[in-house]
Amino acid sequence: MREHPVTWRVPTRILYGERDELTGMRTITEFAEKSGAALTVMPGGEHWFHTDEQLRFLDRWISA
């Protein structure tokens, strides 16, 4: 994104795990702000949503 900024033209929502070890909170927050995307942060979530709790959160988020 730093080298090739994106111009977003469609409504976008991002689900982010608070404990994501691949993408930092600052990076995802800046991307969401610049792209106009809605950002939802799951407390205690990881990069890969795989636990029962995380999958339930994902299901609710998708349905919202």
Dist. CA 54–CA 29, nearest whole Å: 20
- pLDDT at residue 8, as a whole number: 74
- pLDDT at residue 10, as a whole number: 87
Dist. CA 45–CA 27, nearest whole Å: 16
pLDDT 10s digits, 1-60:
678 776 778 899 999 999 999 999 999 999 999 889 999 999 999 999 999 999 999 999
- pLDDT at residue 9, as a whole number: 84
pTM, rounded to two decimals: 0.83
- pLDDT at residue 35, as a whole number: 87
